Amino acid sequence: MSFSKLGLSQPITTAISELGYDKPTTIQQKAIPVILKGEDLIAAAQTGTGKTASFVLPILEKLSQGETQRKKRIRALILTPTRELAVQVEQKIQDYSKHLGLTSLAMYGGVDEQSQKQALIEGVDILVATPGRLLDMYGRRAVYFEEVEMLVLDEADRMLDMGFIEDINKILDRLPTDIQNLLFSATLSNKVRDLAKTAVHDPYEISIAANQASKKNIEQWLITVDKDKKSALLSHLIKENDWDQALIFIETKHGAAKLASQLEKRGIMAEAFHSGRSQAIRSKLLEDFKAGKIQYMIATGVGARGIDIEGLSRVINYDLPFPADEYVHRIGRTGRADAEGEAISFVSKDNFKNLCMIESRLGHLIERREIEGFEPRKPVPISILNYVPKHKRQQEEQ
């Protein structure tokens, strides 16, 4: 199926072609026609499935057929959990709308607000914003909502995890009641469905079952290693394999800085990417990582949210994530557009429960390996595929 057969006009399909895309992904084939019909939508799709284009393209199509924006007014609103994701979504809008006369803006905290405020005063067709900064600008009367036609809640599960529910509800209360609402989430948890009850009305529901966790083009394997040997193991793997690039996930900001320092002492240059660093530094790091100027980026899970790099061949879970869905989010950073990808996880005995929950979430065991010289003193037990956490077992017994 071609993009034109989905109902997209020539200026948009030309931009798509110029970007090197020729066939829509599964989520795009399913979502674009629904959105063009004006229906509300709930879509469950992982990072790397073409999710962003599945709502950006029909938004551009619909807005291109209407009147342009007026001062302090917006026509489509996209809410994202992080600054990085807001920037990347807005860049996609620019890429796809290059042959249209539409305007867009990414608005987020941590930077000088004057330029953002001035752009809002002039009016933009599509505003991509984090909830907190949007409410701030709304309170300053820099933006009005009465002409909003479409709302997108992107990565709704992540916004809820980050505590944005009150801000989201405040925004929903201020928007017109007759607009088209679209909710995208990696998972449709109970929290997401509760939000959907107020955010979308009689929605069409799409779920892409073949998520990144089960894609055959991502080779997943784990290394059992003692916790105090992980830094040395990472250094060994980098030097032994001479990897071109890797995104390394770690749990804390302190841990990211410490690991970067440890690698530097071993002659390996790496950068720590987390919310404790200024927005200007984070933007520069992301730009350099995308350009290949940085080989190894050490990121916290929240800090890395929104990092979208085509061709990233490798992610490493230095710390095993919790909950299990976070593992799926992380490995979805590699293997984009059916390219080959590799996801490596370091697992020690105290990570065993996390490992079991991840493997139960995936529905299969992850291949285990040991590296000579780094065999664990404390062996990691054999996995339990249908592992149920103790607190859930107790709930079921009651």
Asked whether residue 320 carries a pLDDT value surpassing 80, the answer given is yes
CB atoms within 10 A of CB 139: 9
What's the pLDDT tens digit per position in 103-140?
A: 999 999 877 788 888 888 888 999 999 999 999 999 98
> Amino acid identity of 188?
L
Domain ranges across the chain: 4-207, 212-390
Instruction: Tell me how far apart the alpha carbons of residues 75 and 66 are, in angstroms, rounded to a whole number.
Output: 10
199 has pLDDT over 70: yes
Nearest Cα to 290, choosing from 252, 250, 326, 245? 245
Per-residue pLDDT, 83 = 86
Q: Mean pLDDT, the chain, as a whole number?
A: 88
d(CA 135, CA 244): 41
Residue 316 confidence (pLDDT): 96
More confident residue, 127 or 210: 127
**Predicted local distance difference test score (pLDDT) of residue 126:** 96
Separation of first and last alpha carbons in the chain: 51
Quick one: which of 136, 171, 130 has its CA closest to 154?
130
Task: Compute the distance between CA of residue 262 and CA of residue 235 in angstroms, rounded to an integer.
Answer: 9
Please tell me which of 105-119, 124-138, 316-330, 353-367 the model is most confident about, judged by mean pLDDT: 124-138
Cα–Cα distances (Å) from 329 to 110, 165, 231, 326, 385, in that order, read 25, 20, 23, 5, 20
Number of neighbouring beta carbons within 10 Å of residue 215: 18
Q: What are phi and psi of 149, to 5 degrees?
A: -105, -30
Domains 4-207 and 212-390 share a fold: yes
The pLDDT score that the predictor gives to residue 388 is 61
Dihedral, 131, 132, 135, 140 alpha carbons, nearest 10: -140
Tell me the two tokens of residue 198: 């107020």
Tokens representing residue 221 in the block = 């394997």
Residue written as token pair 């309170």: 139
**CA–CA separation, 333 and 212 (whole Å):** 9
Confidence at residue 218, expressed as pLDDT on a 0 to 100 scale: 86
Contact 376, 224 (CB under 8 A): yes
For the domain bounded by 212-390, which CATH number is listed?
Answer: 3.40.50.300
Output the six-digit token pair for 245: 């690039």
- Each residue's pLDDT tens digit, 251-298: 999 999 999 999 999 999 999 998 788 878 888 898 899 888 999 999
Is the predicted pLDDT of residue 213 greater than 50, yes or no? no
3.40.640.10, 3.50.50.60, 3.40.50.300, 3.40.190.150: CATH of 4-207: 3.40.50.300
Q: Please, how many CA atoms are within 13 Å of residue 328, restricted to the half-sphere of its CB?
A: 26
| CA 248 – CA 339 distance, rounded (Å) | 19
Once rounded to an integer, what is the mean pLDDT over residues 350-372? Answer: 90
With 60 as the cut, is the pLDDT of residue 394 above it? no
Q: Report the percent of the chain where pLDDT is more than 70.
A: 91
Q: What is the pLDDT of residue 207?
A: 85
What pLDDT does 211 receive?
Answer: 47
As a whole number of angstroms, the distance between CA 360 and CA 369 comes to 19
- Within 8 A by CB and 6+ apart from 31, the residues are 41, 43, 54, 55, 58, 206
Paired sense of beta strands 246-250 and 296-300, if any: parallel
**Least confident segment among 32-46, 107-121, 296-310, 368-382:** 296-310
Show the tokens assigned to 15.
């931009």
Please count the residues of the chain.
398
Instruction: Look at residue 306 in the predicted model and tell me its pLDDT.
Output: 60
CB 96 within 8 A of CB 159: no
Residue 305 has pLDDT above 80, yes or no: no
> Helical H runs in 310-389?
324-331, 352-362
Q: How confident is the model at residue 337 (pLDDT cuts 50, 70, 90)?
A: low
